[in-house]
Each structure stands twice: as C-alpha cells, then as structure tokens.
Chain A
Amino acid sequence: MSRIITYRAALREGLDEELARDPNVVLIGEEVAQYNGAYKVTEGLWKKWGSRRIFDTPISEAGFIGMGIGASMLGVRPVMELMFWSFHSVAFDQLVNNAACVRYMSGGLCHCPIVVRGPANGGTGVGATHSHIPEALFAAFPGLKVCAPATPADAKGLIKAAIRDNDPVYVMENTLLYGMSGEVPDPAAGDHLVPLGLAEVKRAGSDISLIAHGRSVIHCLAAAETLYAEHGIHCEVLDLRSIRPLDQDAILNTVRKTHRAVLVDESKPFGGVSAMVGMLIQEHAFDALDAPIQRVCSLDAPAIYSPHIEHEQLPSPRRIVAKVLAIT
C-alpha cells in the first residue's frame, strides 16, 4: 500500500517515526518548533512532542550544531536543521573539525551520531549566499556521510536511515522539491528505510546513462521522456541518492550497459559530485565507454539572483537533452 504525499510530509513522517522509536532523538534548529519550521518540514511536531524533544534555537549555527555534537558523544541523537545548508559556512569548524574528526582524533573512543538536514539548492531567487550546493564539499571529508533525496519516498527512507546511522550524516534537501508529491509506502506496511550508499535506477534504458542526485534526477526524467518521444533515445536514469557512501557498482553497471554517460549535477563543475563520478567511471569502466563522459552542472559563477535568468544557470531538461544529443 502506498499513499501520495509530498516530499515535505514524507520527511516529517520520517522524523515523527524516529522521535517515536528512540527517546534519545531530539530536533534542534532555528524555527523548527513553535514556528513549525521555516519550510514547514517540522510542522506539528512541537505540538505533538513538546519542548523537550524539539526546540528552537537562536541564530547561532556554530553554537547549536556544536551543542548537538557534544550531546551526541553522550548518547543523545540530535537532528539539527540548517534553515539553508548555505549557512554551513558559519558552523564549518563544528561540521568538519569536530563532527568529522572527533572519532578519528580520539582513536575511535568517541562517536558522533548526528544528523544535520536542510535545503541545499539554487533556483529560488535568493542570491549567491543562500544558494550553495555543498554535497561534494562535505563528502570530501572522511568521517562524514552525505545524501540528497530526489523523491518523497527516498526523503523519508533516507532521513530515517540517517538518524539510525552511528556516524554524522548530512542530508541535503531541496526547497523546490518540498511541495512535490509521490508515492510513499504506508507505515502500516512496516518501516520504510532507504540505506545510505544505495543508488536506484529511476528509469531503465539502453542507449545512454543519466547519472544524477537531488532535483537533477527530476530534470533527467523529464529529459529522458523528451529524448524518447522526439528522438527515440532510451535513457537510463540513475539516482545516486547517497553521495558518501557512494554506490559505485550501480554507476559502473549502468555505464557498462549503455556505454555512454551524462552526469547531471547542480554543483559547480570544479570538484562537484559529477567530477568524482566521472573519475570513477574512467578508472573502472574506461573500456566500456563509446563516447567521452559529459556533464551538465550549474554554470560556473556564484548563483545569480535575477529570476529572469537564474534557471538558465542550473541544470535543466533542455540542457540535458542537448548534451545527450551531442554524444549519441
């Protein structure tokens, strides 16, 4: 049994279920409680669970994230919301030096089972400071895990897996997906978990692989539809879902099947997730390729504000179609 619910509601359901399952799970962040969440992800949870389990913080990202890290070392399981992942920069020391390194520097004596979640996307007319897309940035630090769900079902399954994981997991959501609806298994059918490190083929195809994560997956599915309808090209769309751990087998399998790949990534081109995926393909599936790997990334500049042009900076179905046609 599935229901159609929004990405936002799916996340909320996942948080709610984990609050019920584990009394040590707490939700911490700016406006997450009494305000019901800046993007309403946590709507109703404060009323249901009260101020001990979910509470508002001042605008002190370094302070409250560090507080969550310290509490996690004692056994609390904090889930902390960054209103925008773009605000990571003021908490970077806590997110990296403390969360990523404390286990290592203590020779394994400490661990840090935290979740930091929030939207990490461009495309909403809020300018460069609020439009950073830091999946690859954090995935570059051993000790951290990063995922980026594209669908409501994956949003619920991944947030639950992230909360149960015993390492720090950074969940990168998307404000433009919060209102998107999709099928999510009924809770009565059992726990819906999506493990970290497991990609999913969202559309099977034989001619070319489109490899993406987050909202870019939605663009890939739209592009695949156009390419089939107008050009008879069968695209396979692989949703990475998790950036670190990364499902390398799924990446290599689809490339070996189709022999062509376009990597779609809302990051900037220099050192983005797609740069890493491209490297892995050439290293492990070089002989399977019939054409150079191509990428569709955000255009390489800070995020532009202008609503007239902002969407042109980001990956889009049109740009994906053009790139596919160039190598098929």
Chain B
Amino acid sequence: MTSATPPTLDFATSAINQALSAEQKTGLFTLMVRIRRFEQAALKYYNAGKMGGFLHLYIGQEAVAVGTISLAGPDDHFITAYRDHGHALAVGMGMNECMAEMFGKQTGCSKGKGGSMHFFAPDKNFWGGHGIVAGQTPLGLGLAYGLKYLGREGCCLCYLGDGAVNQGTFHESLNLSGLFEIPVVFVIENNGYSMGTSQERSSAYTGCLAQRAEAYGIAWDVINGADIFEVRAKTHIAMARARSQHKPTLLEIDTYRYYGHSVADANAKKYRTPEEIEHYKQNHDPITLLRRRLITEGVLTDATADAIHLAAAEEAAAAVKFADESPAPTVADIGTDVYWETDHATAASKIGRHFFND
C-alpha cells in the first residue's frame, strides 16, 4: 500500500491475461467472491461463538491468492501463514471442510486438529496454513528444494505477510534460496500492518520491502494487489523463472485488509483511520475493480455478477450448516495423527512406549 507505483500499464492486455477466456475470467471473479462470502459467513459465526481461537480474515486481499494460484501448473505448490482461507479455497478446497475445521469438527480438513490457521490439502499441493510468523518460509524453501531434488518441474509459492519480513528465518530462507538456486517465489502480501504496527513503524527499508532481495542477489518486483491482472502478469514471470531456471524471486504484492489482524484485534480501528479503510474499499477493492472491468468487457452483467454473489452466499450458508451439524472429534481422536508409524500400526510402532498417558 505504500510503495507501489500507480499502474500506468493495462495489465489485462498482457499475453497471460489475453489468453483468458470469458469463462476463465468469470471463474476468477467467482472465486474471489466465494472467498469473501465464505469469510463473511465465518465472521458471523465466529462472533456467534461457534468457533474458538483466532479468525484472521483475508477480506480485501482476495486478488493475491486467486491471481497467483490461477497460474499454477500441475506441480506448483503453495504454503502460507495463518491468514490462509483465501489460498485454501483458491487451490480448490471446499467450503465445507474449511468451515468445519473452524467449527472444530471431525469433518474439517484437518479433522478439527488445526483450526482456522492450519488448513492443509496436500492432494491439491497446498501445504498449510502455518501459525508462527515466517515459520513457514523455510518450509516453502524446502518444498521447492524437494521439487528440484526429485527432478519435478514446478515451483513453490511461499506467502508471507509484511510482518514476517523482519524474522530471521525469512532472511535465512532468502539466502539459502539464492545460494542453492531453489525454485521458490516468496510472495509478501503487504497489507501495511504487522498486527497493529504499520510498515513505517516496523521495517527499515529503502523504496520497498521487496528491495531487500538485492542483498541476496534475488530478482524482485512490486505488484498492485488490487488488480488481479497485474498480479497474474508479474507473478507469471517469477514462476516461469523458478520453473525453468531454478531461480527464486521475491514479490511484494501491495494489498489491504479491511478487518483487524484477527477478529480479536481490539485496536483494529485505532491504529488506522476509518477514512483510510473506506478509501480502500471505495477505490482499491479487488472484487469491485474486476467486476467493473468484466462488465465493461461484456463478460459479466450486473445481473450475472449479483447472481454469483448470491450463489456464493448460499454455498457459504450451506457450509455453515454442514459444519454445525458435523460431529465433534472424540477423546480417542486426540491420540491419533501424532506419529505416522502408530497411525499405520507398523512393526516399529509396536516397539516401546510412544504415549505416556495413565
């Protein structure tokens, strides 16, 4: 939000976006709307006491996950931090298992053992959902190293927030990625605030955060995250660089979250002005901007766009019903998914005591 140069190019006309069919463009719009409606429903039921812990909403940032993940090939992989609902739906996870996870139910994607911050879908190349700031950055590096070691053509998109750029593990990961030529794309989703501390109060930098990549000899770019076409046009280049040259990239995608760091953020409306939030909603909302564009292009009409919203809201409501009616985990479930060997009752698991309950 602080460093992007106002776009002077129309990224919708770049080749990667020109290649999109009307159906695919509608698909991008639909996915962004589904993420927003899903989270609006989650917020409603979080406030109603249906879930525990934290709820970090992605609302306002949808073009980042949808735009980047829309570029994925069959062996591209994804990992993110705790603000993970958008990425989860973008990789193709269903609203049901995601909502049920937040409700703490057995039918949740992690069987109710992870919660809002820990969604996983390895079958969709999505490796979480991680709660410790920047703790996922070496894992993303490792997934990309694994692809290279195993001779698979793909890359890992490793998302982090602007608060994560000041953690040591992130810098270690940048250095290792440059040193070992790892096909990873680090994506800083810069929403301007690390919890309640603005970028200006938390980071020493020149120009932008992504410029730190120069210290490690890594390519970098800054992207306006309100424009899904710009997100796609620039991320595409980084992913191609990773896949074909095994070279990392650091991207900074400027974006904004309308809600607090989490819903429990008591100061969400104190460290920034209502005018600032309203300004983004009015002028930079990625869903509004894409809707306007697609209507201008004749891909959508007001009626079809509204119908997409309605369908997404109904889908989210159905997911709430599914989650609410699903069974909770049992006491016996507490003791599974701890060790692979005991879960699979292997010979190794029969030797020695693994658990120390009464």
A-to-B contact residues, CB < 8 Å: 24, 26, 52, 55, 57-58, 60, 62-76, 93-94, 97-98, 102-111, 113, 142-143, 145, 161, 165-167, 195-198, 242, 244-248, 276
B122-151 residues with Cβ-Cβ distance < 8 A to A are: 122-123, 127-132, 135, 137-147, 149-150
**Which residues of B sit under 8 angstroms from A93, Cβ to Cβ?**
132, 135, 169
B-to-A contact residues, CB < 8 Å: 77, 79, 108-114, 118, 120-123, 127-132, 135, 137-147, 149-150, 168-169, 172-173, 175-176, 179-180, 336-341, 343-344, 346, 348, 351-356
- CB <8 Å contact, B351 and A63: no
- CB <8 Å contact, B128 and A105: yes
A94–B77 Cα distance when bound, in Å, is: 20
**Which residues of A sit under 8 angstroms from B112, Cβ to Cβ?**
107
> B85: shortest Cβ distance to chain A, in Å?
15
A71–B142 Cα distance when bound, in Å, is: 4
Query: 12 A–B contact pairs at CB < 8 A?
Result: A58-B176, A66-B135, A67-B141, A70-B139, A93-B132, A97-B132, A97-B135, A104-B114, A107-B108, A165-B341, A245-B353, A247-B352
- CB <8 Å contact, B175 and A58: yes
Residue of B nearest to A94 (CB): B138
> A322: shortest Cβ distance to chain B, in Å?
31
Known: A71-B142, A97-B131. A198 touches B351 (CB 8 A): yes
A248–B355 Cα distance when bound, in Å, is: 11
A103–B337 Cα distance when bound, in Å, is: 6
Known: A60-B176, A70-B140, A70-B145. A142 touches B118 (CB 8 A): no
A75–B143 Cα distance when bound, in Å, is: 10
Residue of A nearest to B123 (CB): A109
- CB <8 Å contact, A105 and B127: no
Residue of A nearest to B112 (CB): A107
- CB <8 Å contact, B110 and A75: no
A305–B143 Cα distance when bound, in Å, is: 41
- CB <8 Å contact, B338 and A143: yes
**Which residues of A sit under 8 angstroms from B337, Cβ to Cβ?**
103-104, 106-108
Known: A67-B176, A198-B351. A110 touches B127 (CB 8 A): yes
Residue of A nearest to B110 (CB): A107
**Which residues of B sit under 8 angstroms from A70, Cβ to Cβ?**
79, 127, 138-146
A153–B110 Cα distance when bound, in Å, is: 40
- CB <8 Å contact, A105 and B118: yes
**Which residues of B sit under 8 angstroms from A242, Cβ to Cβ?**
352
- CB <8 Å contact, B343 and A74: no
- CB <8 Å contact, A245 and B354: yes
- CB <8 Å contact, B175 and A63: yes
Q: Count how many pairs of residues, one from A and one from B, have CB atoms less than 8 Å apart in the complex.
A: 188
**Which residues of A sit under 8 angstroms from B340, Cβ to Cβ?**
103, 111, 113, 166-167
**Which residues of B sit under 8 angstroms from A63, Cβ to Cβ?**
138, 141, 169, 172-173, 175-176
> A306: shortest Cβ distance to chain B, in Å?
33
**Which residues of B sit under 8 angstroms from A276, Cβ to Cβ?**
356
Task: Given contacts A107-B110, A166-B341, list 8 more A-B pairs with CB under 8 A.
Answer: A63-B173, A66-B137, A70-B140, A71-B145, A72-B142, A73-B142, A104-B114, A107-B112
> B71: shortest Cβ distance to chain A, in Å?
20
A232–B219 Cα distance when bound, in Å, is: 73
Known: A63-B176, A94-B135, A108-B337. A52 touches B142 (CB 8 A): no
6 shortest interchain CB distances as A-B pairs: A197-B352, A70-B142, A66-B138, A63-B172, A245-B352, A107-B111
A97–B114 Cα distance when bound, in Å, is: 12
- CB <8 Å contact, B113 and A104: yes
- CB <8 Å contact, A143 and B339: yes
**Which residues of B sit under 8 angstroms from A198, Cβ to Cβ?**
351-352
Residue of B nearest to A106 (CB): B120
Contact of A244 among B135, B149, B172, B354 (CB under 8 A): B354
A62–B168 Cα distance when bound, in Å, is: 9
- CB <8 Å contact, B138 and A74: no
- CB <8 Å contact, B111 and A246: no
- CB <8 Å contact, A58 and B179: yes
**Which residues of A sit under 8 angstroms from B142, Cβ to Cβ?**
66-74
> A225: shortest Cβ distance to chain B, in Å?
28
Contact of B173 among A66, A68, A108, A196 (CB under 8 A): A66
> B140: shortest Cβ distance to chain A, in Å?
6
- CB <8 Å contact, A195 and B351: yes
- CB <8 Å contact, A105 and B352: no
**Which residues of A sit under 8 angstroms from B129, Cβ to Cβ?**
105-106
- CB <8 Å contact, B135 and A104: no
Residue of A nearest to B152 (CB): A74
A299–B348 Cα distance when bound, in Å, is: 35
- CB <8 Å contact, B139 and A142: no
**Which residues of A sit under 8 angstroms from B145, Cβ to Cβ?**
67, 70-71, 76
